[in-house]
């Protein structure tokens, strides 16, 4: 079974803090993705990566950056968290269909 894990299920941070969200997959997938999910807006792609050190912007990359130093790990970074980044963050990996991690519910106060 594919397993995608995320470092935290719930996270509370203050405005202006630097936030790291970690994602690890165990299926040797080349492709990894970060989404945020908000009520009424669905899943929106922030960034994705198709190889180590390779990344591409998704639909809403502003305010975020990513890092992929190893194939199994894809990190999402909020350089200076803001309240409008309060959301559910989902990581996924794929060879073809995407497998999702359990999600991190981030609250920025």
Partner 1 sequence: GQNIDQPTEMTATEGAIVQINCTYQTSGFNGLFWYQQHAGEAPTFLSYNVLDGLEEKGRFSSFLSRSKGYSYLLLKELQMKDSASYLCAVRDETGTASKLTFGTGTRLQVTL
Shortest Å distance, C-beta 56 to partner 1: 7
Shortest Å distance, C-beta 22 to partner 1: 16
DSSP classification of residue 6: E
Q: Is 61 in the site for partner 1 (CB under 8 A)?
A: no
Q: What is the C-alpha separation between 28 and 31, in angstroms, rounded? A: 9
Token representation of residue 32: 């990894």
Which of 18, 56, 70, 82: binder of partner 1 (CB under 8 A)?
Answer: 56
Nearer to partner 1, 92 or 108 (CB): 92
Judge whether 93 and 6 are in contact, CB under 8 Å: no
State phi, psi for 91 to the nearest 5 degrees.
Answer: -105, 150
Stretch 21-40: interaction string toward partner 1, x if CB under 8 A: ---------xx-x-x----x
Sites of contact with partner 1 (CB under 8 A): 30-31, 33, 35, 40-45, 48-50, 56, 58-59, 90, 94-103
């Amino acid at each position: 079974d594919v397993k995608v894990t995320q470092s935290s299920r719930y996270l509370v941070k203050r405005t202006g803090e630097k936030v790291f969200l970690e994602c690890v997959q165990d299926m040797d997938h080349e492709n990894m993705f970060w989404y945020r999910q908000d009520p009424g807006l669905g899943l929106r792609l922030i960034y994705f990566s198709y190889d180590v050190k390779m990344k591409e912007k998704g639909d809403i990359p502003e305010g975020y950056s990513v890092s992929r130093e190893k194939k199994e790990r894809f990190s999402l970074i909020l350089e200076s968290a803001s309240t409008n980044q309060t959301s559910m963050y989902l990581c996924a990996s794929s060879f073809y269909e995407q497998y999702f991690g359990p999600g991190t519910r981030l609250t920025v106060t």
